[in-house]
Structure formats: C-alpha cells, structure tokens
C-alpha cells in the first residue's frame, strides 16, 4: 500500500469528492475513503514512513475542509512529537532538509542525517497549522484546541533544540489567540447547541471576518510560495550556466547511395584498382633486390590461346640450356665433396700415428724407471 500508485489513486478520489461536493451520489463515498486513509496512516508507526503519513494526512485535511466533515487528524501529528526523539544527535550533518514531497519512505542513510529531523518538524508544524486553520472558524474550536495545546506544551518542556522550540511556541501562541477570539465571539450567541442552522450561519460570519489563525496561515503560505519560486528560479539559473557545454548532435543516417558507394570502395572497386592491388601483393612477396623492377609483359597468345612455333622453340632451347647448367653444377659439387672426404681421412691417419708414438715413449720411460729402481735395491 505504501507506493505511489496507491497514493495517487487515493488522491484522485479525494479530489473528485472535494470538487463534486455537495453531491447526493458521491456523498456516501466520503466515509469509506476516510476509513481507507486513516487505516493506511496508522498501519506503520516507524519514522521510516513519516513522508507517506504526511501525504495521507494532507489529503484528510483537504477532504475535511471541503466537505465539512469532522475528521480527527491531530493525533497523527502529535504522536510524532511524543514518540520521536528530536534531542538525539545525528551522525551526519546535511546542509538542506530532506524534501518529503517527492518520497514515501526514508533510507537508512537519510534517517541518520540532521536534515531528516528538520523535515519531520516542518511536516508536523505545517500539518497542525493547516488543520487548525481549517477549523479556526468553528464554534467548537476552543474545545478542540485544549488537548493540542497541552501536548505541544509538554513537548516544549522536553525539547532542548532552540529552533524546534521556537516553532512550536509560535504555533501554541497562535492557537491560543484564535481560541480566545472564538470564545469571545461565542459569548454573544443567542441560539442553542441544537440549532444547526444558526450555528452554520454564525461560523460563516466568523470565517468572513478572518480569524487570527487563518490570517497567520495565509501569510505563512505566501512566504512559503515565495521561497519555492526562488528555489525554482535558482535552479533555472544554475541550469542556464551550463550553456557553454558543447552539445552532441546525433549522427545523420547515411542514405542508400552513400552506403552503396562505401561497399563499392570496400568490395566492388574498379578493374584498374583491382590490378594495382594485385601488383602490390606480388611485390610484397618478392626479394628486396627484385622489388621495384618492372615485370615482363605477358606473352601474346594466338587466336585460340596457343603460342607460335618460334616462341615454343626458343623456350625449349632455354630449358635445355638450364638443364645442362644444373648437371655441370652437380658434377662439380660431387668432385669437391670427394676431395674434402680424402683430406679428412688423411688428417685422421696423421693424428692416429702421433698418438701411437706418444704411447711408445711413455712405455719406454716406465721401463727405464723400473730398471733404475731395481739397481738401487741391489746396492
């Protein structure tokens, strides 16, 4: 139920009943709509849902003032002053109060900010002032104001925040002033309590004379409207300061002709361009020495794609000459390989002889040393 769809739906019904009043067909709907609103207000009492409570209470106030039905709305505002601890210090400090006009519930981070307490106090102050101003011309206003004034004074005794005390004290003074005004007017009344027509006439006269609380409410409303206009103008000025930021224009969609030209450039170019690309590919795979040289022109073919006899003979001679050169190179290569193998074998033989000589010398030295040892033993 605590969503914008439900709130807007109920607001639509309230506007319909207020605009169409008095209507014999819609009059029976006032009571069920009032019961739905009061049930939603008292559904959850946690501070998280203070914004939706203020929205619904404003609808009840509007419905009560337009239809003339008495709806007890003050307890929903006074309950906030009794249950919520406005003296508790918050962990976060916000420069501006939270705007309850655009939200239905508070987040955890918003509940820790100082601006949430300020917005809650502003909501209570505005709600009580709106409702009491709609009842300021009623003949029973002094009796209605007694419990409200008592609870507001009890809050002033417990509260330690100067700004909150200042607001509530001002509200108490205006309510008491209006209560005295209505009591003085009521003393001159000559009709009884059961005469409803005379009571309605008397209330209209008091309302036309504009009681003190209604005057204060009208002036306070003008000040608030002026503040909202300044805020809107300030936001417009801030938004106007960003004119220097360049704007990104959307790209125009390419026409069919442009798309075809792009595809032609990529896939379907002219024949000359294709030949140039083929030449570039051939040059890329050549050796560095051969790059840049002109390629020989392609041989002219006969009428049916056959070469002439002279060209065939010259090509055969060239092939024979190339074969002879390859044979000579292979023969010369074989001879050089045999010479290198012979040289290697001679070197191996010489190395083997040197090793045999060294072994013989070592054996001779060993024999000489053994003979000398034996002679020394005999001595």
On the question of pLDDT at 325 being above 80, the answer is: no
Q: Considering the domain boundaries, does residue 308 fall inside one?
A: no
Q: Considering the domain boundaries, does residue 184 fall inside one?
A: yes
CA angle at residue 96 from 90 to 99, to 5 degrees? 100
Q: Considering the domain boundaries, does residue 78 fall inside one?
A: yes
On the question of pLDDT at 287 being above 50, the answer is: yes
Q: Considering the domain boundaries, does residue 187 fall inside one?
A: yes
Residue 209 tokens read as 């004379």
Q: Considering the domain boundaries, does residue 189 fall inside one?
A: yes
Q: What distance lies between CA 291 and its chain's CA centroid?
A: 59
Over range 136-158, report the average pLDDT. Answer: 92
Q: Considering the domain boundaries, does residue 113 fall inside one?
A: yes
Over range 349-355, report the average pLDDT. Answer: 55
Higher pLDDT, 127 or 325: 127
On the question of pLDDT at 302 being above 50, the answer is: no
Euclidean distance between CA atoms 46 and 375, whole angstroms: 126
Q: What distance lies between CA 305 and its chain's CA centroid?
A: 72
Local structure of 24: helix, strand or coil: coil
Higher pLDDT, 89 or 151: 151
On the question of pLDDT at 296 being above 70, the answer is: no
Helix and strand totals (H; E) in the chain: 13, 0
> Any residues with CB less than 8 A from the CB of 50 and at least 6 apart, and which?
80, 100, 106, 120, 123
Higher pLDDT, 103 or 322: 103
- pLDDT the model gives residue 155: 93
Local structure of 92: helix, strand or coil: strand
Q: Considering the domain boundaries, does residue 247 fall inside one?
A: no
Residues 100, 47: contact at Cβ < 8 Å? no
Least reliable range by pLDDT among 150-154, 177-181, 216-220, 249-253: 249-253
Over range 106-131, report the average pLDDT. Answer: 89
- pLDDT the model gives residue 370: 55
On the question of pLDDT at 307 being above 70, the answer is: no
pTM above 0.75, yes or no: no
Local structure of 197: helix, strand or coil: helix
For 177-190, the pLDDT digits (tens) are: 999 999 998 888 88
Q: Considering the domain boundaries, does residue 169 fall inside one?
A: yes
Least reliable range by pLDDT among 97-101, 282-286, 302-306: 302-306
- pLDDT the model gives residue 169: 94
**What is the percent of the chain where pLDDT is above 70?**
61
Average pLDDT of every residue of the chain: 76
Local structure of 97: helix, strand or coil: coil
Higher pLDDT, 84 or 373: 84
Domain that holds residue 136: 71-239
Instruction: Domain count for the chain, please give it.
Output: 1
Place of tokens 């030295």: 365
- pLDDT the model gives residue 305: 43
H/E stretch holding 285: none
For 153-176, the pLDDT digits (tens) are: 999 999 998 999 999 999 999 999
Q: What distance lies between CA 240 and its chain's CA centroid?
A: 23
For 20-72, the pLDDT digits (tens) are: 988 889 999 999 999 999 999 988 888 889 999 999 999 999 999 999 899 99
């Amino acid at each position: 139920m605590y969503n914008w769809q439900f709130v807007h739906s109920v607001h639509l019904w309230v506007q319909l009943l207020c605009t169409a009043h008095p209507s014999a067909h819609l009059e029976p709907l006032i009571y069920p709509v009032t019961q739905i609103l009061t049930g939603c207000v008292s559904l959850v009492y946690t501070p998280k849902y203070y914004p939706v409570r203020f929205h619904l209470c404003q609808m009840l106030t509007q419905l009560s003032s337009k239809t003339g039905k008495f709806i007890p709305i003050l307890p929903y505002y006074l309950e906030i002053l009794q249950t919520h601890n406005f003296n508790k210090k918050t962990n976060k400090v916000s420069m501006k109060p939270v705007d309850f006009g655009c939200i239905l519930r508070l987040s955890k981070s918003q509940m820790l900010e100082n601006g949430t307490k300020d917005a809650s106090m502003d909501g209570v102050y505005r709600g009580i002032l709106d409702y009491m101003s709609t009842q300021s011309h009623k003949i029973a206003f002094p009796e209605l104001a007694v419990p409200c004034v008592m609870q507001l004074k009890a809050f002033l005794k417990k509260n330690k925040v100067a700004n909150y005390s200042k607001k509530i004290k001002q509200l108490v003074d205006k309510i008491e002033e209006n209560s005295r005004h209505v009591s003085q007017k009521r003393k001159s009344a000559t009709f009884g309590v059961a005469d409803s027509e005379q009571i309605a006439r008397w209330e209209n006269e008091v309302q036309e004379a504009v009681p003190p609380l209604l005057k204060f409410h009208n002036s306070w409303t003008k000040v608030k409207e002026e503040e909202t206009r300044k805020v809107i103008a300030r936001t417009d000025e801030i938004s106007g300061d960003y004119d220097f930021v360049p704007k990104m224009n959307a790209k125009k969609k390419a026409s069919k002709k442009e798309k075809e030209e792009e595809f032609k450039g990529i896939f379907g170019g002219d024949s000359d361009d294709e030949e140039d690309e083929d030449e570039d590919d051939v040059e890329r795979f050549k050796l560095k020495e051969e790059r840049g040289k002109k390629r020989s022109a392609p041989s002219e073919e006969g009428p049916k794609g056959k070469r002439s006899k002279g060209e065939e003979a010259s090509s055969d001679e060239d092939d024979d000459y190339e074969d002879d050169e390859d044979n000579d190179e292979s023969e010369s290569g074989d001879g050089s390989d045999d010479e290198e193998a012979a040289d290697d074998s001679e070197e191996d033989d010489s190395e083997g002889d040197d090793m045999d000589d060294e072994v013989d010398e070592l054996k001779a030295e060993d024999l000489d040393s053994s003979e000398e040892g034996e002679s020394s033993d005999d001595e």
